[in-house]
A and B are shown apart, each in its own frame.
Chain A
Amino acid sequence: MSEKAGTSAAENAAGASSAPSASSATNRGSSAAAPKGAANQGNPAFRMMGLPRLRLPSRNWSIFFTITGSFAGAVIYDKWQTRRIREKWANLVSHIADETLPTHTMPRKLTVYLAAPPGDGLRVAREHFHNYIKPVLVAAAIDWDVVEGRKEGDVRFKTADRIRKKRRRNGEGEQLPQEEADKALTVEALREKSGTVDWDGVAGDLIVGRNTWKEYVRGLHEGWLGPVDAPKPPVVEQQSEFQTTVHSPGHASLGDVAVKAAANTVAPSETDSSSTGDPKDDASPASDDASPDDKSKEDQKENEEEKPKPRHPPPHIQPSEYSSATPSHHIPELVGPSIGVRFPHILGFRNTPIRIYRFLTRRHLADSVGRDVAAAVLASHRPFPSDSTSYPGDDSNAAGRPEQSEVLLHEEKDWWKTTFQPRKVHEESVWIEDMVLDERIANRMRVFQLTAEDEDRAKRISDGREKAVTKDDLES
């Protein structure tokens, strides 16, 4: 190893014994004694080993690079793995996109229920959907429909409303007056005319988040067990008017009190409303106050106008009335197989370490969500275990609680604490109430679960042992 001509005496001393020898200890000692010279020569240890004369960073820079480098490395590794995992699940289902579809058949349509998590907005939920759920749906060319909920109770109302619409189309309940032209122009009418049929087979629901799941189950029960038409508000002598309208205005309380103030008769109205036997809507408290006093009625009316109105009409049936209600005749054998998709969401400054950890382990979330969506896409479903029978591979339900109420239960720990405060009058409280399940509906629910062979296939795809099926491989 050639040595450059040194500039200082110390260097000469060091250079004298620069040949690879056993006297490295002495060499190091001499170079430490002459710092300036040694710095120009590079790390003596490197010189000993014969490595090129690189400059090691100082202690502070080393610390900096270690911290930055390890964090960046963790992020990059996680991003790379999430991309691979996303591709794995997309490749598992991509063969569905290449299947032929007759011209007059609509593609399969999944319904995605997306609600804003407690304490946050809808955008977070949408991003979660875009990042983890949508890629698998797009890879399989599945059509989807999104039911969005901004505030508590939105998803419940929309779910129940959809079911009621379906029931109305099958002929139950009072039909809304609709003009002939309108009837002919609806999408359904056009499709019937041209002979387009819907996909025959299970459709399926994807529910994102525990809060959405609760609202979904409540909406499901309300839709199938409740009456198709809104219950008539317990109102006064103008009852003949109200009987013809089907959609009683959601703000029945306002109308009630205004009518009462105008009508001035309260006692006969009470007997009337009780005789109709309609389920009372508990969500309109003002209408329950039937105070016979004129003055207090006027005060109430003013109060009502200041109070915020509930977002949606009161539910058509309360959970307490489930057991006494009769389900619709048109209820299908399977109430859409469904699956609850994880949506981890946590707020708070002191939760920052947890959030950092979750940010660095998003590959596990991508895997879990991808698996659920792939199960829904491949339409492999199993029944929820009932209390009496124990399903093989079931979690221990020692308390006997049905599995539907345990879906995504762990997410409730993450909810922001204001969620658990008592609600104001005009707000719904589906999230904090216990889930009330009616057997007739619960027995018709199914959950999507990936079969073992599909799991194996997914594993083989991720290992590279199996390739995703492409168009070229298929026979046309």
Chain B
Amino acid sequence: MDSLTPAEQRELNSRMERKQMKEFMTMYSKLVQRCFDHCVNDFTTKSLISREESCVMRCVDKYMRSNERVGERFQEQNAAMMQAGSMAGR
């Protein structure tokens, strides 16, 4: 990060932001896809019936929670790898 000029850093930051936005939108669309596929299967009526309503709510909850958990474990593993790498380098 220090080897880049300020202009390059700004460019890097903006690119990172765009990438993160894209990832966020991807996650959102995946979530919608998954919950719809799993919960909604009664097309005799246009609106969501209460069973589907509660299913969708729970689906979103579980998805976000599992995302959180996996993210945390991933972060820990990442940090452990970085630590091991830095220790090996020393």
Contacts and interface: CB of A to CB of B under 8 A. Distances in A.
A182 to B, nearest CB: 6
A214 to B, nearest CB: 33
Given A182-B83, A185-B82, A185-B83, A190 B76 contact: yes
B72 interface: yes
A49 interface: no
B75 interface: yes
Contact of B79 (A103, A186, A196, A476): A186
B58 A476 contact: yes
Interface size class of B (residues with CB under 8 A): 10 to 19
Contact of A186 (B69, B72, B75, B83): B83
Given A103-B65, A181-B86, A476-B58, A196 B72 contact: yes
Interface string A178-199: 0001100111001100101000
A190 B65 CA distance: 18
B23 interface: no
Contacts of A196: 72
Interface of B: 58, 65, 68-69, 72, 75-76, 79-80, 82-83, 86-87
A20 to B, nearest CB: 69
By secondary structure, the A interface counts as helix
Contacts of B80: 185, 187
Contacts of B65: 103
Given A103-B65, A186-B79, 18 more contacts: A103-B68, A181-B86, A182-B83, A182-B87, A185-B79, A185-B82, A185-B83, A186-B83, A187-B76, A187-B79, A187-B80, A190-B72, A190-B75, A190-B76, A190-B79, A191-B72, A191-B76, A196-B72
24 contacts: A103-B65, A103-B68, A103-B69, A181-B86, A182-B83, A182-B86, A182-B87, A185-B80, A185-B82, A185-B83, A186-B83, A187-B76, A187-B79, A187-B80, A190-B72, A190-B75, A190-B76, A190-B79, A191-B72, A191-B76, A194-B72, A194-B75, A196-B72, A476-B58
Across the A-B interface, the 6 shortest Cβ-Cβ residue pairs = A185-B79, A185-B83, A103-B65, A187-B76, A103-B68, A190-B76
A405 B72 CA distance: 43
A190 B73 CA distance: 10
Contacts, number: 26
Contacts of A103: 65, 68-69
A103 B65 CA distance: 6
Contacts of B82: 185
A186 to B, nearest CB: 7
A363 to B, nearest CB: 38
Contacts of A182: 83, 86-87
Nearest to B90: A179
B35 to A, nearest CB: 16
A355 B69 CA distance: 47
A148 to B, nearest CB: 20
Contacts of B87: 182
Nearest to A187: B76
Nearest to A196: B72
Contacts of B58: 476
A191 B75 CA distance: 10
Contacts of A476: 58
B77 to A, nearest CB: 9
Contacts of A186: 79, 83
